[in-house]
Structure 1
Amino acid sequence: MASSYFQERSTPASPDLLSPATPSIGVSSRTSNALSSRITSVLSASYADLDIRDALETLNGRGIRNTAETRRQLRLDVQKEVIQCNGDIVKDFGQVAEQLKRIGAAISNLNQSCADLRGHISAANQETGPVLEEATSLMNQRKQVEMKQRVLDAFSSHFVITEEEATALTSTAEPVDEEFFQTLTRAKKIHYDCQVLLGTEDQRLGLEILEQSSKQLNSAFQKLYRWIQREFKTLDLENPQINASIRRSLRVLAERPTLFQSCLDFFAEARENILSDSFYTALTGSAADLQSLSSMKPIEFHAHDPLRYVGDMLAWAHSATVSEREALEVLFISEGDEIARGIQAGLESEPWSRLEGDEEIFDGRKALNQLVSRDLTGVARLLRQRTEQVIQSHEDATLAYKIANLIAFYKNTFSRLLGNDSEVLDVFTGLEESAMRQFRANMRDHVAAVQSDLAVAPDDLSPPEFLEDALQMLKTLAKSYDTSIAATDERDNGFQAVLSEALDPFLSGCENLYKRLADPKNDIFAINCLLAAKNILAPYSFASDRISEIEDTIGEHSAKLVESQHRYLTYESGIDVLLNAVSEMSDSAEDISSLASLEPFKPEHLIATSQQLDDFLPSALMDAAENIKRLRNSRMVQKITEEAADKFCEDFEFLESKIIAADELLDDESESEDQAVVRLRDIFPRTSDEIRVLLS
């Protein structure tokens, strides 16, 4: 539309349009300027202008063609349409004005109605104001009451025990069951939480609840205490399934140390009576056991065998102790340290129950050992009576010592089982001391009897019969001590007392016989006795000190035998005279030169001595060994003889050196004087090497 419109506008105007209706020069020029001006404004108008674009779109919508007629009528048509539109608008606004009048009337009516309503509302507010204020006050009061009710309910549920709960907690007619323990736990919590109430300004309520809870707790613990006592009367410790409620009750009762200790005292007394009766029944048998005597005989059935009799009693006591300890561990230890914690809490809540200066923490194991020891008091008393009867009614020292070792063995066993502080160990200590006193008394009587029979040593110089008997007894005692593992800490020293009673008196008797014998018989006799004692003690390490002493003594007597054998060799060989002659001679030339002038070194005497030496040497060792053949150790005989032979060889070497030195001086003198002399070596030709070969 726009393009066609501008194309039509750009074509040359028709002659009718260009020719003015009234030709005039002035008019023509103004019209041309106005038209040029219009065309210029039209052409300068931008299509992007909104007004131009809307106008063009309107023309395009009308489907108008660009003709002269159309252009003349266009303005009129547009103005007509504008006038018609304005008329329509005025008409429409007239209707709107009518509607606005009606709306205004309606608004006025509404305003009037609102004013009336405000009046009614104001009057209603004046009438209902006090009621609303009262209702608001009541609502606030209700909220406060509800809050107080909730607080009261919470307080009651936490700090107040119901009648049913109080009955279950304190009434002895009610059982000690789960409900009791739950209520007791709640009562303890109430008692503890009362500290919070005591911290407030008004302490009356806290004091009242604290007093009430204290009474209830005391009644509950008294009920629990009496219930445990009743249960202890019928408690079967042999049953592995011990009632769990008893263990729980003991843990709870531990919070009252006084009641707990009283309960333990009652239990210990009851168990002491039960164990005493059981031990007496095991000793003597009962009517109920007569049918089973064939399979299980009373301990007194073996009273004829004292060692077995005492051993059976001790074994029964040990077995009962183990069973008692295992059963009580289930009651007091199996649940950990609850009892210890309960007692600690009880001591904190009842400081008056703590002994003065007693700050030691409760030890469950130690308390268990003490309780078991108290349970065994009656058994220990009866055991002491029977064992002392056995000890005092027999005069056999070996039996008394075996019983002492047996008691020491069980004492050591009980100390590991119950601790070193157990009262039962005092009974074992007393019995052991009594057995050792009886042993020493019997041994002294035996020694006194033997000393009256001492005569002379045997001809073969062997240990006398009383020593042999004593050594056999000592062997039995040492074996008993070794198998008893008694006095472990003093194992090496524990046997010294036995040696002083069972060996030393008999060795003293042998020493008296030793003093009556001549050399070398006395030393041979002494060594034989000491070797016999050493052989008995050798297998036992606890006698090592005494064995060392015996070996030292044997060494002293062996040295004397060596000296005796040495004297024999020098005397029988004949060189003792020569040795005595040169023993005090110095190495000076004057003394050496005078050797040949000495009486023993004169040719006739020296020839006799040389002949005697030659006759002695072939059998010298055999003859010397024959002197100590009664020594009961062939190896020692050989050793002593060899040591004596070595000393003999050393003496001969010394003698030989003197002879050689004297011959050298004689040779020097003979060369200077040109005289022939008789050399000592020619008369006494034996050399020390030859002597060693012959005596080896």
Structure 2
Amino acid sequence: MAANGINSVALPPKDGFASGPLSPGEPAAPGLPLRSPNPLTSKVTSVLSTSYADAEFRDALGLLDERGLANSAETRRQLRLDIQKEVIQSNGDIITEFGRVADQLRRIGTTIDKLNRSYQEMKSHVTAAHKATSSTLDEASNLIAQRQDIEKKQHVLKALREHFVLSEDEEASLTLTSEPVDDRFFAILAKAKKIRTDCEVLLGFEHQTLGLEIMERTSKHLNQAFQKLYRWTQKEFKTLNLENPQINSSVRRALRVLAERPSLFQNCLDFFAEAREQILSDAFYLALTGTSPSGQEDRSVKPIELVAHDTLRYVGDMLAWIHSATVSEREALEILFVSDGNEIAKGIQAGRENDLWRLVTDEADGTPEFDAVKALNELVDRDVSGAARVLRQRVEQVIQTNEDTILAYKLANLLNFYRVTFSKLLGTQSVLLESMSNLETEALRQFRSLMRDHIATLQGEFQHTPSDLGPPDFLQESLKQLTSIMKTYETSLASTGDREADFQPVLAESFDPFISGCENMAKTIKPPSVSVFLINCLLVAKAALAPFDFTQKRVEALQSRVDEHAEKLVASQYAYLRTESGLDTLYDALAPLQATEEDIAKLRTSDALKPDVLIAASQNLDDFLPSALMDAMENLRHLQDSKLTRDITEEATEKFCVDFEHVEEMLISADEAIEQGQTNGHAGSQDGPQSLRALFPRTTGEIRVLLS
């Protein structure tokens, strides 16, 4: 590139023109064109025509500058020669290098020729080999395709066998009794049930033989598996400890699975109930006697028959044992049958439409709605039915041999307590509850029988009224007995709304006959002793019944009868005051009269207001008043309620005072009428009828004071 730049400046042009201006005296070379007559102009024109923006020109100037040459003619001439020399040397070097390249290219060409010949040879060999192996390759391709098809079929077959066919080990685990019933057994059983369900898909294809064969084989294995599980469950039931809170989960799972086979599940329940019934019966017999049914004595047990000397405690201990056993049985069976999210119920639901837990089923009536609690109660009731029969025999014997009335009622109340308790525990339909109801009825019947016998023995005492008109002894004793009965009933579980109605039969047997006996006794005495005697009896009966809330209606009825007899005593006391005061005749005469002119006119002709009669009445009244109240109270001395005695006497005296006030008013009105008549018709006369108030001077105020 430097050479090019130098040539563009210093070398002569290719057309042969001289590179520099000729001297004036130098002749022009022959054959060359004539120069411009003005060389300077040509020089300037050449310089001005040069483009300094050209890259080659700049490079040439850079090279000259690097040489450090002075700008002189000699230098310019020598520069040209040097440059031409360098160009020649460079060209020689280039030619030498291109010679070497040519040698290398020749060697490369030789190698390529050898490669071409080798390629052609290999190509011919490959073509021949391909022609020789083409049939083999075709056969291999067919074999590979067949192998892929076989592999697909093997995969399908493997999937079919894994999903629809049980292995020999799995079949052995399902059917052989020597194999355990564990998680693996239940997993294989679930797989077999799924296979039988999925066989329905196979039956939907055109060829159903495979589905039928698999379903038949699987159903056979399933039946054998359920039989094995059924026998295993029965074996486990024989040794199952319900008192252990950690009951084997395999038993619960087995029951859930067996629920899908109604007959097997029902047989298991029956077997379990029979086994538990026998176990509980033996345990109850051991608790009663301290000896097992086989005759072996257990010293760790305190026999109820020896420890409970009291009859009531004996029955109570037996009932408490039955209740405890029932509660324990129910809790254990809840763990066994209803635990783990009610899985047993779900199995039953899937197996037979809520009908498996029913001890008695009737498919003709349709499948009833499943009630797990009721089914559990029925199973518990079956378990304790054997012990319940022993209990009923013992309690019936106690009831029949009992001769104590109160004890008979306490037994009935105790049985009522446990009957209500068992109804809450087992529902309203159970053998145990029926036994409790029958025993309660028997105890009440015995109570009524003993009460009637007791009343029959007291018939002789009903004929003799006490001299003090107090409650007879048989009534006192019957009320003590009734109080004990009411305290017993108060602790019973009868509902608040029905307590009074339920207790009415007891009152009819243990209370009403004695009150009727008192009324019959009262028929032999005269008034007012009749009312005094009956009030005493009624008050003591009321006092016995009043503390209890379930006898309030009867208390109100007794109070009403007391009020009736109190009214009779008020009338008797009032009649006594009128008779003993001597004012009976005067009261009768003045009672129908009023302070009118006509009635006052009648007073003047009345025999009751004659002076001698009034004087005698006044004197008799004065003699009576000092002791009148004491005498009246003495009439009711046998009435045992002193407050009632005062109230009756006060009411009678008040009535007596009211009547006396009327007499006083009539006498005053008569005197006023007499005075007015004397003033109008007999003015100044000193002789006339005597003042009635002067003959009968007592006032109502005085009477009230003396009788208060």
TM (norm. structure 1) is 0.86
Q: Is the 8 A contact 2:280 2:386 kept in 1?
A: yes
The one-letter code matched in structure 1 to 2:704 is R
| Alpha-carbon displacement from aligned partner over 1:228-276 (angstroms, at most 9, x marks no partner) | 2223234444556654543443333333333222111112112222333
Higher mean Cα deviation, 372-381 or 332-341? 332-341
1:500 to partner: Cα distance = 0.9
What secondary structure, in the 3-state scheme, does the structure 1 residue paired with 2:560 have?
helix
1:692 aligns with 2:704: yes
User: Partner residue of 1:310?
Assistant: 315
Alignment partners' CA distance in 1, 2:101 and 2:288: 134
Q: In the TM superposition, what are the counterparts of 1:111-190 in structure 2 within 5 Å?
A: 111-190=116-195
Question: Which residue is equivalent to 2:6?
Answer: none
Deviations 1:402-432 (A, max 9, x none): 3222221221222222222222111111122
Structure 1 pair 436–348 and aligned structure 2 pair: CA distance change class (3 A): closer
Matched with 2:643 is 635
Paired position in structure 2 for 1:561: 569
Does residue 296 of structure 1 match 2:302? yes
1:363–1:33 CA distance, 2 compared to 1 (3 A): same
Deviant stretches of 4+, over 6 Å: 16-19, 287-295, 300-303, 349-354
Give the match for residue 63 of structure 1: 68
Paired residues, number: 677
Question: For the residues of structure 1 that align with 2:621 and 2:574, how far apart are their CA atoms?
Answer: 15
Is the 8 Å Cα contact of residues 354 and 367 (structure 2) preserved in structure 1? no
Inter-partner Cα distance in structure 2 for 1:349 and 1:317: 30
Q: Is 1:344–1:361's contact at 8 Å kept on the other side of the alignment?
A: no
The residue identity in structure 2 corresponding to 1:500 is A
Distance 1:225 1:199 in 2: 33
Cα offset for 1:549?
1.2
From 43, 48, 51, the equivalent of 1:40 is 48
1:574 and 1:612 in contact (8 A); partners too: yes
- Aligned to 1:435, what secondary structure does the other structure show? helix
Q: Does 1:605 align with 2:617?
A: no
Distance 1:670 1:30, change over 3 A: farther
User: In structure 2, what residue type is equivalent to 1:135?
Assistant: A
The alignment status of 1:213 with 2:221, answered yes or no, reads: no
**Higher mean C-alpha displacement, 459-468 vs 279-288:** 279-288
5 Å-filtered alignment, 1:512-551, equals 512-551=520-559
Counterpart CA distance in 2 for 1:569 and 1:401 is: 50
The code of the aligned residue for 1:398 comes to: I
Deviations 1:321-375 (A, max 9, x none): 2343344344334544121112112225999988345555544433222112112
* Partner in structure 1 of residue 463 of structure 2: 455
One-letter identity of the residue aligned with 1:476: S
Counterpart-to-counterpart distance in 1, 2:665 and 2:706: 19
**Aligned-residue CA RMSD in angstroms?**
3.6
Aligned position for 2:345 = 340
How far apart are the structure 1 equivalents of 2:354 and 2:411? 51
Offset from partner CA, 1:53-92 (integer Å, 9 cap, x none) = 1111222233332112222344454455445545554554
Contact preservation (8 Å) 1:607, 1:683: yes
Unaligned regions of 5+ residues in structure 1, if any? 1-15
The separation in 1 between residues aligned to 2:613 and 2:621, in whole angstroms, is: 12
2:478 counterpart letter in structure 1: A
The residue aligned with 1:585 is: 593
1:254-653 map, 5 Å = 254-284=259-289, 286=291, 296-297=302-303, 299=305, 306-347=311-352, 355-357=363-365, 359-360=367-368, 362-451=370-459, 453-486=461-494, 490-653=498-661
CA contact (8 A) 2:522 2:530 kept: yes
- CA gap of 1:488–1:369, structure 2 versus 1, over 3 A, is farther
Aligned partners of 2:21, 2:119: CA distance in 1, in Å?
74
Match of 1:10 in 2: none
Contact 1:474/1:502 (<8 A) preserved: yes
Is the Cα contact below 8 Å between 2:408 and 2:446 reproduced in 1?
yes
Q: Is the 8 A contact 2:287 2:301 kept in 1?
A: no
Deviation at 1:523, TM superposition (A): 0.8
Larger deviation: 150-159 or 285-294?
A: 285-294
- Long gaps (5+) in structure 2: 1-19, 29-33
Say whether the 8 Å CA contact 2:355–2:367 is kept in structure 1: no
Identical-pair percentage: 54
Measured in 2, the distance between the counterparts of 1:335 and 1:484 equals 38
Q: 1:20 aligns with which of 24, 27, 30?
A: 24
Question: How far apart are 1:387 and its partner, in Å?
Answer: 2.7
**Does the C-alpha gap of structure 1 residues 293 and 558 become closer, same or farther in structure 2, counting only changes over 3 Å?**
farther
Cα distance, 1:30–1:321 mapped onto 2, change above 3 Å:
same
SS of corresponding position for 2:38: helix
Shift, 1:641, TM fit: 1.7
Structure 1 residue 176: Cα displacement: 2.7
